[in-house]
Structure 1
Amino acid sequence: MRLNSVTAGVALAGALCASTLTACGSGQGLTITLYVNPQNNLQHVVDACSAASGGRYRIEYHKLPRGADGQREQLVRRLAAGDTSLDVLGLDVTWVPEFAEAGWAEPWTGAAEAEATRDVLPGPLSTARWNGRLYAATKHTNVQLLWYDDRITATPPKTFDEMIAQAGRLKAEGKPSSILFTGAQYEGLVVFYNTLVASQRGHILSDDGRSVVLDDGAVRALELLKKLTTSGVTDASLASQKEDEIRQAFQRGQGAFELNWPYILASYAKEKPRDVGHLRWARFPEVLPGTPSRVTIGGFNFAVSSYSKHKPEAFEAALCLRSPQNQKYQAIEDGLAPTTRSVYDDATPLDPAQPRSTIAARFPMKADILAELSDAAVRPLTPAYQSLSTVISKVLSPPSDIDPPAAAAELRERLTNALNSKEIIP
């Protein structure tokens, strides 16, 4: 554990607490609970932030299930019951409107809000707001890239049409040719479709999230999804493939192109170290030629529970856990893309004994990540997102069976029902 690197950024949170957040020192030996998904090196950050409190509190890390649905279910059940034992909540970027609207997430104000928003990239920051107020602090972000092997493809395709054409030629030559993406009936398919919609400059919902739009851009995205999956260049098991399935398929040489998150590089380096030098990446292919695609943001945010009995300490702990220095630590150790802009330019090694323990070494694709984040897409912001996601993944599955006009009509009807609480919300 590189404690100095992890704790370097907590002084400001402590000073903020002392100067602006009342009652920060009122509870000697308090336990501040953190509920978030399992992350390999987050416990190191938790321990350092506990130590940095000077004994005023200790952060206790409770690991939620690995699956997003299980994480949300556990949090929703406990918060709906008014559970006061939850302090800091790890929220998927799609949950903030729901938790804010339900009154489960405490708004960030004053100095805490100022620190939580300082130097944060606009795209990730938009996932932490609802109705003009900040309800969470951004922790890490994510965008998908195009991955390919330079032994198979010397030059990556710039557009979807080029990618489909290249895959067809590779198939005719008997080479790996599949275009791998998350086609299973789950959130990954919704993310992919949302990227296609946003890249067509279309909309699923209105900007305020209160009505269904599903405009011409959204219909063209359905047409592209249909074209992609009926051109003979997708894997036979597409309808059951999630992120890790396509990662493994690509590593086995079953695909020419993979549309997936940046963690692909670390996984490839660990499992196929002899071949990692041939793994290449590029920006997500353009849907509209000449116009960069708008790629859907992933990631996590930290919220403070409205039922917490120790809100001042919880805000301070959350600020420490997602400080720029700790974002840098988890970027290098866990491959989690930072939300703070300056972290990407930090050239200082995390460990002086390991000169390559830097952001540049861990994220050689950082320029493409930043370029995509500069005009990224956000999934529809609405408290009913979980229900909308279920509807979209159901209507679009399997993608090869889509009838674009019929699917658009069904989506308009069922998404309207979901917004009006007429669809079953999981």
Structure 2
Amino acid sequence: MRWRMLAVSGVALAVAPLVAACGSDGGTEINVYYAPEEHFQSVIDQCNQKADGRYEIVYRKLPRDADGQREQMVRRLAAADSDLDILGLDVTWVPEFAEAKWLEEWTGSNKSEAEDGVLEGPLKTAMWNDKLYAATKNTNVQLLWYDDSVTPQPPQTWSEIITTAKRLKSEGKPYRVVFTGAQYEGLVVTYNTMVASYGGHILSDDGKKVVMDQGAVDALKLLKEVTTQGITDPSLTNTQEQQVQQAFEAKDSEAAFELNWPYVYTAMQTGNPERAKHFKWARYPGIDGPGKVTIGGYNLAVSAYSQHKPEAFEAALCLRSAESQRYSAINDGVPPTIESVYDAGDADFIKAYPMWQTILDELQDAAVRPLTVVYQNLSTVTSKVLSPPQDIDPKSTADELRDQLQKALDSKGVLP
């Protein structure tokens, strides 16, 4: 799910021992480097059964934070490490890794299978320069979460949220609007969604020039307005996804609205069972109606240095098949990228994933973050300029973003 957190030390990662390419029985190992996901090993086990001994997929867990994941893979790929076969890439990393020639292009039947039935937005995140460099494993979009005992009908626009929150505050009821406001990618995701909802652009479509049009400026005005009305959490500038989740779950929560990823639904069932009875969802707010929400998620790429590319492509396709995506959606709460998995006739899917239709509606009208090889620089610059959001001056902040983002775009090479 995303614009990611800032750099985390990876010294220990740099000296991690290399992984053998063959198992103890002499069979071929296909190493998949992927973020921690609770039930991903079960998906791997199912795919290993289908491989029937021709190869064995081995789960090499990356660090939990996105910057740590990226840093470990960047270091090893820069050293042409052939032990990396399948790479779990945040949706923002494909251009950077492809431009560095670290990824094998998907062609022929592999490409056709990887593209088959995939929603347009998620598929864009797996491409660079009109070529496919990854297969979509899961996508993600934030929803508006609310307590229907406090607000029976959810607001559809930011204007309605602000008005409703102020009214609830005057009535002594939970009223706060909680979202990611810390100086990291989460803040920029919020801003990017506001820009897209205004129909604006931060970069040109080819990702080579800074645009910062009127929609981008209007989004700055909105972000400042939301954070200066006395309706956000006092710790806004320190909140990331988990803190947002916990703020709504708390027994004495003053939050009425939460903007967050779908995983919070399952977390609420155990975090606050009483409030979970009233925990509802709706489409993310926009300007004149529902917003255009920024896509998150993960893609699976095959390393250019893999010594087992045919097996790696086959394994990756299995790990992100419709069957695998359905299993992961039900058990790990990660939205599928294949449209057919969203099945109104699938009772188990609907029971475990009741918000599926709202997620699908958002995905069919979603926003993709700017695709550029210097994405990491853009994320860092934007989060710094936007923080703290209550200090935004729309005109001068827009000018500063234009200047700083263009400097980021003019840099060369893969970031360390």
Query: Is the TM-score greater than 0.5?
Result: yes
One-letter code of the match for 2:69? Q
Give the C-alpha shift of residue 29 in structure 1: 1.3
Q: Does 1:407 align with 2:405?
A: no
- d(CA) in 2 for partners of 1:235, 1:71: 30
> For residues 138-177 of structure 1, what are the structure 2 equivalents within 5 Å?
138-177=136-175
| Structure 1 residues 424 and 336: alpha-carbon distance in aligned structure 2, compared to 1, 3 A threshold | closer
- d(CA) in 1 for partners of 2:188, 2:41: 31
One-letter code of the match for 2:367? A
- d(CA) in 2 for partners of 1:155, 1:327: 32
One-letter code of the match for 1:386? Q
SS at match of 1:388: helix
Give the C-alpha shift of residue 346 in structure 1: 6.4
Q: How many residues align?
A: 390
Q: Deviations over 1:336-362 (max 9, x none)?
A: 11111111116446xxxxxxxx11112
> Which of 184, 188, 192 is 2:186 aligned to?
188
Whether the 8 Å contact between 1:104 and 1:306 is mirrored in structure 2 is yes
Task: Report the equivalent of 1:215.
Answer: 213
> Which of 335, 338, 342 is 2:336 aligned to?
338
- d(CA) in 2 for partners of 1:30, 1:43: 18
TM-score scaled by length of structure 1: 0.89
- d(CA) in 1 for partners of 2:151, 2:414: 45
Structure 2: stretches of 5+ with no match in the other structure:
1-24
Q: Deviations over 1:300-356 (max 9, x none)?
A: 00000001011000000000101100111111111111111111116446xxxxxxx
Task: Report the equivalent of 1:295.
Answer: 293
Task: Report the equivalent of 1:18.
Answer: none
> Which of 120, 123, 134 is 1:122 aligned to?
120
SS at match of 1:338: coil
- d(CA) in 2 for partners of 1:274, 1:395: 40
> Which of 72, 95, 98 is 1:97 aligned to?
95
Q: Give the stretch that moved more between structures: 47-56 or 162-171.
A: 47-56
SS at match of 1:337: coil
- d(CA) in 1 for partners of 2:44, 2:277: 34
Q: Does 1:397 align with 2:397?
A: no
- d(CA) in 2 for partners of 1:298, 1:271: 24
TM-score scaled by length of structure 2: 0.91
Q: Deviations over 1:54-106 (max 9, x none)?
A: 21111110000010011001111111111111000000000011011110111
Task: Report the equivalent of 1:243.
Answer: 241
SS at match of 1:146: strand
Q: Deviations over 1:11-47 (max 9, x none)?
A: xxxxxxxxxxxxxxxx971010000100001011112
SS at match of 2:342: helix
- d(CA) in 1 for partners of 2:350, 2:52: 33
Q: Does 1:80 align with 2:78?
A: yes
One-letter code of the match for 2:372? T
Task: Report the equivalent of 1:388.
Answer: 378
Task: Report the equivalent of 1:283.
Answer: 283
One-letter code of the match for 2:126? A
Give the C-alpha shift of residue 174 in structure 1: 1.5
Q: Does 1:69 align with 2:59?
A: no
Runs of 4+ with >6 A deviation: none
Structure 1: stretches of 5+ with no match in the other structure:
1-26, 350-357
- d(CA) in 2 for partners of 1:104, 1:330: 27
Task: Report the equivalent of 1:10.
Answer: none
Q: State the identity as a percent.
A: 60
- d(CA) in 1 for partners of 2:388, 2:415: 21
- d(CA) in 2 for partners of 1:154, 1:133: 46
Task: Report the equivalent of 1:270.
Answer: 270
Task: Report the equivalent of 1:35.
Answer: 33
RMSD across aligned positions (CA): 1.5
Whether the 8 Å contact between 1:251 and 1:272 is mirrored in structure 2 is yes
- d(CA) in 1 for partners of 2:325, 2:156: 31
SS at match of 2:58: strand
Q: Deviations over 1:218-246 (max 9, x none)?
A: 01000000000001111100000001101
- d(CA) in 2 for partners of 1:323, 1:381: 25
Whether the 8 Å contact between 1:210 and 1:382 is mirrored in structure 2 is yes
